[in-house]
Each structure stands twice: as C-alpha cells, then as structure tokens.
Amino acid sequence: MWIRIDSHSGVAIYRQIAAQIEQAVLAGVLESGDKLPGVRELAVELAVNPATVVKAYDELEQTGVIEQPRGRGTFILGRPKLEERERRERLQAAAARFLGEAERLGFTASEALRELQRAVAGLGDAPKADGEGEDHDGR
C-alpha cells in the first residue's frame, strides 16, 4: 500500500492514514467504488494497531469519503466535500510546502513562482479533471 506512516511527525497515526486516503481520493488515485483493504489487513501492512485503522476509517466515514456496509468491506464514496475555508487552508499549506521545498533546493521564491507559472501554462491544453478549473459554486 502507498500509505506511509511518519512516527516522528507529531500527527496521530490514524490522522495520517485518513489524510493520505482522502488525498488519494482528491487526486483521483482512488475513485468511487474502489475497495480499501480490510482493517486487519491494513493494520498488518502498516504495522499499527487495528484500532488505529478503525479510527481512521470511522473518521473517513463521518466525512463522507468512505462507506462501510456491514460485512461487505470498505468502499470509497467519492470526493470529500470541503468547505471554502478548508479548501483555502489546504491550498495555503500546499503553497508553503512548495516554497519550503524550493528553498531547500536553493531557489528563491521568485524562481519558484516562475516554475509554477510555467507549470500552469503547460496545463492550458490538458483536459480538465472532474470540476477542475471551475469556481467552487460550479461555474
């Protein structure tokens, strides 16, 4: 599995699991109807307590990312619906990570911005993913 646990991050392991599954859904890696590993299977794979996976799955179910029909498994429902504030916070966090990585590589913020502008320009001809490029109200 592609989930990576960082025991030194200060973030609870169940939150790391939930966040990475949610991110995979947002990125289109996991799609509606995809089946997730069972609790025990994922716990063994990640070397964590099964209760930790249960807590992550419960959080994802509460936010509408997954469903857990009794006895059938755990399935992706679709993309989580994020409020505007949370969308902005996540974008700001992603921008900070991008700039931090650019700085670690020895680039200035201006150089990083130029690279980002090049990347955006390169997306101009690419087909848009589901709802990508629209305002949050669907325009």
pLDDT in tens, 29-73: 999 999 999 999 999 999 999 999 999 999 999 888 999 998 899
How many CB atoms lie under 10 A from the CB of residue 42?
22
Contacts of 96 (CB under 8 A, 6+ apart): none
Tokens of 118: 């090049």
Domain ranges of the chain: 13-76, 84-123
Question: What is the Cβ-side half-sphere exposure of residue 133, based on CA atoms within 13 angstroms?
Answer: 9
CATH of 13-76, picked from 1.10.1060.10, 3.20.20.300, 3.40.190.10, 1.10.10.10, is 1.10.10.10
| CA proximity to 80, closest of 93, 56, 55, 61 | 61
What is the model's pTM? 0.61
Confidence at residue 38, expressed as pLDDT on a 0 to 100 scale: 93
The number of angstroms, rounded, from the C-alpha of 49 to the middle of its chain's C-alpha atoms is 22
Confidence at residue 109, expressed as pLDDT on a 0 to 100 scale: 92
Q: Could you tell me the CA-to-CA distances from 119 to 95, 105, 113, 116 in Å, in that order?
A: 14, 18, 10, 5
Query: What percent of the chain is predicted at pLDDT more than 70?
Result: 86
